[in-house]
Amino acid sequence: MKLRRSTRAQSLPIAGLVLLGSVCQPGLAATLVVPTDFATIQAAIDAANAQDVVLVEPGSYVENLNLRANVDVRGREAARTWLEPQDGQLPTVSISGADNLLFANFTLVDALVAVQVVASSSVQIASVVFDGSTAVAITAGINSTVDVTNNVFFANATAVQRSTADIDITNNIFRSNDITITSPLGLINNNINVEANCWSNNTDLLVNGIDTSYGSGAVTGNPQFIDPSARDFHLQQGSPCIDIGVGNDIIDNTIADAGAYGGQLADASPFPVAQPTLTDSSTTAPAATNIDVSWMPNESYLVTNSVLPGGYRVYYKQNTAGPPYDGGDASGGTAPSPIDAGDTTALTLGDLNPVAAFALAPRLLTATGANESVELNWEAVLGVNGYRVGYGINSTDENEVDTGDVTRFTVTGLINGTTYRFSISALTQAIYYVTVTAVDSTQNQNESDFSVEQSIQVGPINESPRSNELTALPEFIQPFPPLPDNGGCFIATAAFGADWAAEVQALRDFRDRFLLNNAAGRWLVAQYYRLSPPLAERLQEREYLKPIVRGLLAPVVALSLFMLASSPLAKAGVVGLLLSLVILIHRRQQRARSQRVSNGS
């Protein structure tokens, strides 16, 4: 028995569906695209009119579908359009009282019952992968006519359960199922309307470890799927399931293959290759920027073939991720993207012209001394690939270290008690983004979707101007007594709220540059460390005192900032003014004392 459905669904490939567009004109079928036009497959089905097509883009969908009469539902790519049930106790796809429809080009996973057909006629289920149904992949009741064509049944408890012989089973692959075909009480002969299928490693058909089969035109043997664990059920070269079916393949117009990638409804897209590997192979003599690109092959027999191989295309561009991949500088500008790599799994993007923009200077926020180290913190700069720390005792040009793309870094290996100067610069370098597609050997040169994108930094490094400078003193300090926050919090830190506050940093820098380099200053700092912790602890307990202390410290902070930022001449002027003020006060005190002595006499 062969079903006579409308030839529309049988002969209209996915490319034709796309050409229809999402139009709704009187007398014309519309293509409703998920998720472009509708967020869910069911929403698109509910909105469709008779003869419309619901086209589902690749992705993972979690829904239980109820199909409607005269509305076809197709995935764009069977291998990458996954459907699993939202309610695992219900069929993933229910077809009840719905006639004249097509369900095709999906991979159904994690189902109890994948597809249930009840009282529905002229139903076609084609180019679907049924993977791991725990009860049954397809169950069809009485008063139903179903054409089960070019599917893959892999590792299901039961592949097909039919209550009527009006279920045609043609051009399918049955692999590693517990039960392949069954009927209630065994009333239907399992060989009826079963034709040109491929059989392998099914528990109910193994006889002394050897495969047997049902129906006419059967072929047995390992179908040589590419990678069932990745749900890639394309066939490798040498598969016994190639060119054994009824009818022709739309992909290469030869005799139909069995399985989801044969027949008139197969999607022609090769499975995408894995993420490529990129290696900087630039040379200095002669100077050239090169990137070696390599990838794993697509092992479908229409791509990897010793007689008629397909090939690959390499897409690339600079500095921005994602399509369109419109690079044009490879081979000195003569090899724009994409580049046909042919029957190989490696290609060199040679003689590139990497261009990286110059970044703005970062702003160094804090430099905090610790034992033989200083922790730096700075503001991020957009569009950079990393940062460079310059530091030294007399100049920030004495040492350099690249930090990567971070905004906090600890410089180690420093000498305690020595004041160091620090600054930051931002680094930019060209980034190339590369992806690869597989192309089959057919006349149409069907092309896969892009591989996962890979990127690499190559070419000269541009360095921004240096940031502001900060100083810090690496030192081992153990605060005593321990304060409530265990942070060694002294009076200034307690008053201003954090050890990275700008005022605290100014006082710390003044200490490092003007006090610790002389005996009197070091004595003053030691007294501060001795007296400050208990006062700071009391200040932490009395929040209302903090504004008062900040006010008292303000002149000291201002003086510190002046001494840190002003020129030597300005410093000398201020020191001279202070000395003059001290001398004037001293003279006035001497006069007053002399006057008192004179009055007393």
Q: What is the pLDDT of residue 500?
A: 62
SS (H, E, C) 226-286: EEHHHCEEEECCCCCCCCCCCCECCCCCCECCCCCCCCCCCCCCCCCCCCCEEEECCEECC
Domain co-membership, 171 together with 88? yes
Domain co-membership, 374 together with 452? no
Domain co-membership, 376 together with 422? yes
Interatomic CA distance for residues 338 and 353, integer angstroms: 17
Domain co-membership, 343 together with 372? no
Interatomic CA distance for residues 449 and 406, integer angstroms: 34
- Report yes or no on 484 lying in a domain: yes
Distances (CA, A) of 217 to 34, 206, 213: 38, 18, 10
Domain co-membership, 205 together with 144? yes
Domain co-membership, 389 together with 457? no
Q: What is the pLDDT of residue 578?
A: 60
Q: What is the pLDDT of residue 484?
A: 40
Among 341, 339, 314, 337, smallest CA distance to 326 is for 337
Give the H/E segment covering residue 311: strand 311-318
Which range marks the domain in which residue 439 is found?
Answer: 277-356+432-461
Domain co-membership, 376 together with 331? no
Domain co-membership, 298 together with 443? yes
CB-based contacts of 538: which residues, under 8 Å, 6+ apart?
Answer: none
Give me the residue label for tokens 């129906």: 215
Interatomic CA distance for residues 231 and 275, integer angstroms: 17
- Report yes or no on 386 lying in a domain: yes
- Report yes or no on 13 lying in a domain: no
Domain co-membership, 84 together with 229? yes
- Report yes or no on 582 lying in a domain: no
- Report yes or no on 93 lying in a domain: yes
Distances (CA, A) of 358 to 59, 257, 426, 430: 39, 56, 9, 11
**Which CATH number characterizes residue 345's domain?**
2.60.40.10
Q: What is the pLDDT of residue 483?
A: 37
End-to-end CA distance of the chain, in Å? 142
Domain co-membership, 446 together with 514? no
- Report yes or no on 10 lying in a domain: no
**pLDDT profile of the chain (601 residues), mean per 10:** 35 40 56 97 97 97 98 96 97 97 97 98 98 98 96 98 96 98 93 98 96 97 96 97 96 96 94 97 93 98 96 96 96 97 97 92 94 94 93 96 95 93 96 97 96 95 95 69 42 65 72 71 73 72 76 76 65 62 71 70 54
The number of distinct structural domains making up the chain is 4
Interatomic CA distance for residues 477 and 395, integer angstroms: 25
Domain co-membership, 215 together with 343? no
User: What pTM did the predictor assign?
Assistant: 0.71
- Report yes or no on 36 lying in a domain: no
Domain co-membership, 223 together with 91? yes
- Report yes or no on 191 lying in a domain: yes
